[in-house]
Amino acid sequence: MNKMKLAITTILILILSNFAKADLNISLKDYLDGKDLEKGSTQIYLLKRCSSVYAYASGIVLKSDAVSSKNFIEISNNLLFKSVELMVIEENKKLEEAQEEAENNRKELFSNYIADGKKNWEKNKSHFKGSYISDDMAICSRLIKED
Cα–Cα distances in angstroms (integers) from residue 73 to residues 67, 122, 144, in the given order:
10, 25, 13
pTM over 0.85: no
pLDDT at 10: 47
Per-residue pLDDT of the chain (147 residues; tens, 9 = 90+): 555 454 454 444 444 444 444 578 899 999 999 999 999 999 999 999 999 999 999 999 999 999 999 999 999 999 999 999 999 999 999 999 999 999 999 999 999 999 999 999 999 999 999 899 999 999 999 988 865
Q: Please tell me the number of Cα atoms within 13 Å of 85 on its side-chain side.
A: 7
Q: What is the rounded distance in angstroms from the CA atom of residue 126 to the CA atom of residue 63?
A: 15
5: exposed, middle or buried (C-beta count within 10 Å: 0-12, 13-18, 19+)?
exposed
Residue 24 DSSP one-character state: S
CB 139 within 8 A of CB 32: yes
Taking the C-alpha atoms of residue 116 and residue 135, their distance in angstroms, rounded to an integer, is: 13
Per-position b or e across 29-42, b if 16+ CB within 10 A of its CB = eebeeeeeeeeeee
> Distance between CA atoms of 128 and 120, rounded to whole angstroms?
7
